[in-house]
Structure 1
Amino acid sequence: MQGYSNTKGKEITYTERQLIERWHNKEKLSNRRIAQLLNKAPQTINNELRQGEVHLKIKTKYSALHAQEHHSVNKSHCGRPSKLTSDLNETISAGVRDKKSLEVILQELTGVCLRTLYHWVDKGWLDVKTHHLLYPHYKKAKKLRKTHPKRPYGLSIDQRPEEINHREAFGHWEIDTVLLTKEKNDCLLTLTERQTRFEIIRLIPNKSAQSVNTALLALQKETQFKSLTSDNGREFARLHEAVTCPVYYCHAYASFERGSNENHNRMIRRFLPKGTKQTTVQAVAKIETWMAHYPRKMFKYQTPFQMYRGG
């Protein structure tokens, strides 16, 4: 069995071509011997000598430099041409700056796939880079370890009916608060409808049970609440005073049990990052409207507003 190999990724280098030039032109070694020295197939050396031929006045010689230039030209023609154009670059980059995900931007394009968009970003071929994407890094999900809260405020999420778990009906909401700064300041009350992912955001004066209940009492006049799913924060300890529907509390340190709401909070952070000292009711309403009309892959790129209107 032959002891040489010339698999993909093991092309002849310029240093090896210089050795071939010396052994072939000066030392007059046979092609088979050169192949043994370089651990290549003899046919590979034959092809290489033909590729690097230069014709002089009297005889023909092998030139390592000529062979390398010929190889570089051939290499530049490898692969299919890129579909990236200046117009595509401008469209994709503008979408990323407008806080859209690549999945949503893709719906406006033709002839490319999502993997291609990520490839262009990774290679640095666009005006926007990886750190401009919404969530460029992902951590491995931790294993579930259910921990029951020390002071349960009401029903456990384990008691939540399968109808709610499977998102079969409209009117079941996940609730949370989003802090803007560590100091005592205005904060956001967020509610996400589980079936349609429709979002409600309200600016409340502080993170207290009284502020949360006041906002919920006002919302009940225009919104249908069949159930609420909450974490075990103290601001949600008195939800039963504000709503008549069942309230289910997640396990401790298990924010993923309100996954839809947590993902929506991340979307809000695109506009109000941590440390935002001031915002207005008008600005919050604008974010709420933007989220309601943001296309969702899970709904075949329909918006929560379209789903909500159908609900």
Structure 2
Amino acid sequence: MTPKELRALDGTVRPLIQQGQSPYMILANHPELGISVKTLYNYIDQNLLLTRNVDLKRKVKFKKRATHNKQILDKEIFIGRTYKDFKDSHADELDFWEMDTVLSANGSSKCILTFYFPAIELFWAHLMDRCSPGSVKAVFEHLQSVLGDAYEFSFLMPVILTDRGQEFGKPDDLEHGPDGTPRTSIFYCDPMRSNQKAGIENVHTMLRMILPKGTVFTNLTQWDVRKCVDHINNAPRKRLNGRTPYELAMKTIGPEILKKMQLRYIAPDQVTLSPKLLIH
């Protein structure tokens, strides 16, 4: 590649790297560049571009999140809801979602309730004022309300797999709507086995590129969370052959439900996975 061609390549790549996009994402959206991901990494390693390795956010190693300080103590809750039950009932063959929370640094009681649909890697999240069973229930009631009813909720999320954090300690409240109509089934991972819901752990890594460890959520709003969700859902995935979760969701879940969930399209070169996304 000539020096002129390298400058042109860098002109496309560098701004997107600074937005937190990975080389894979960039090349998935720009096949006209005509190089492989490995070649782009080699150019960066060899200092042929102004882009440097230090700019590559995905090369940064993130520490695994510490286990919840507060776990569910009532073991009867897990009867019929263990990970073994999840596998034995073949619930993992249904359109199951994974659920978790992302905590603020010390200084705020706010947290983010997160949902992840492994089949198409779709992400959805909602800000909560506190990490409690009541707050989780309120999000479920809100989601059912915007979807329409318990049947619509069940169509979208028939099965949910989560961990044993105390905020998920009232599964009956989550499994049934306000009038008692069943809407989902809750299952729990084994203790200390975050790998049993590895998909949501991976998407949290993307979220932490925007909200790094140490971020206090005091001034975070639901609008901010929605913005994070949209940019994550519009990032191409290798497992999806370069397609985005949003693109696949439009085909499988449909535009009407995505609109109700307030999920929207972001143009490829506008996708930003860095703290600058939330600079107002």
TM-score under structure 1 length normalisation: 0.64
Residue 103 of structure 1 pairs with residue 40 of structure 2? no
Q: Is the 8 A contact 1:214 1:242 kept in 2?
A: no
Cα offset for 1:89?
Answer: 1.0
Distance 1:81 1:178, change over 3 A: same
1:250 and 2:189 aligned: yes
> 1:120-159 to 2 correspondence within 5 Å?
120-137=43-60, 152=75, 153-154=77-78, 155-159=81-85
**Is the contact made by 1:180 and 1:273 (CA closer than 8 Å) also made in structure 2?**
no
Encode CA deviations 1:112-135: one digit per residue, 9 max, x unaligned: 111111112222333232232223
Query: How far is the alpha carbon of 1:84 from its aligned partner?
Result: 5.5
Of 166, 177, 188, 2:112 maps to 188
For residue 179 of structure 1, report the CA deviation from its aligned partner: 1.1
Aligned to 1:113: 36
- Structure 1 runs not aligned, ≥5 long: 1-79, 142-148
Q: Does 1:262 align with 2:201?
A: yes
Match of 1:210 among 134, 137, 141: 134
For the Cα contact (< 8 Å) 2:6–2:48, is it kept in 1? Answer: no
Look up the equivalent residue of 1:274 and give its one-letter code: K
**Does structure 2 retain, via aligned residues, the 8 Å contact 1:169–1:195?**
no
Is the CA contact 2:99–2:161 (under 8 Å) kept in the aligned structure 1?
yes
Higher RCO, 1 or 2 (CA under 8 Å, sep at least 6)?
Answer: 2
Structure 2, unpaired ranges of 5+: 65-71, 148-152, 177-183, 253-280
Separation (CA, whole Å) in 1 of partners of 2:133 and 2:175: 13
Structure with greater helix percent: 2
Q: Distance in 1 between matches of 2:169 and 2:137?
A: 10
Query: How far apart are 1:193 and its partner, in Å?
Result: 1.1
Percent identity between the two aligned chains:
24
Equivalent in the alignment of 1:179: 103
- Residues 1:83 and 1:112: Cα distance change in structure 2 (over 3 Å): farther
Following superposition, the deviation at residue 201 of structure 1 comes to 1.0
The verdict on how the C-alpha distance between 1:304 and 1:181 changes in structure 2, with shifts beyond 3 A counting, is same
Aligned to 2:10: 89
Can you list the C-alpha shifts for 1:20-48, whole angstroms capped at 9, x where unaligned?
Answer: xxxxxxxxxxxxxxxxxxxxxxxxxxxxx
Q: In 1, are the aligned partners of 2:82 and 2:188 still within 8 Å (CA)? A: yes
Report the Cα offset of residue 82 of structure 1: 7.6
Give the superposition deviation at 1:220: 2.4
Offset at residue 261 of structure 1 (A): 0.6
| CA-CA distance at 1:189 after TM superposition | 0.7
Deviates more, 1:122-131 or 1:286-295: 122-131
Checking the alignment, whether the CA contact within 8 Å between 2:94 and 2:159 is kept in structure 1 is no
Cα displacement string for residues 105-156 of structure 1 (whole angstroms, at most 9, x for unaligned residues): 11214331111111122223332322322231569x9xxxxxxx97543211
2:116 aligned counterpart, secondary structure: strand
Answering whether residue 139 of structure 2 is matched by residue 198 of structure 1, we say: no
CA distance in 2, matches of 1:220, 1:274: 31
Q: Which residues of 2 match residues 41-80 of structure 1 at below 5 A? A: none
The letter of the residue matching 1:157 is Y
TM (norm. structure 2) is 0.71
Q: Give the Cα separation in 2 of the matches to 1:105 and 1:85.
A: 15
- Matched position secondary structure for 1:195: coil
Q: In the alignment, what sits opposite 1:285?
A: 226
Two-structure CA RMSD over aligned residues (Å):
2.5
In 1, the alpha carbon distance for the partners of 2:124 and 2:59 equals 26
Per the alignment, residue 298 of structure 1 pairs with 239
Q: Hey, what's the Cα distance between the residues in 2 that align with 1:185 and 1:150?
A: 22
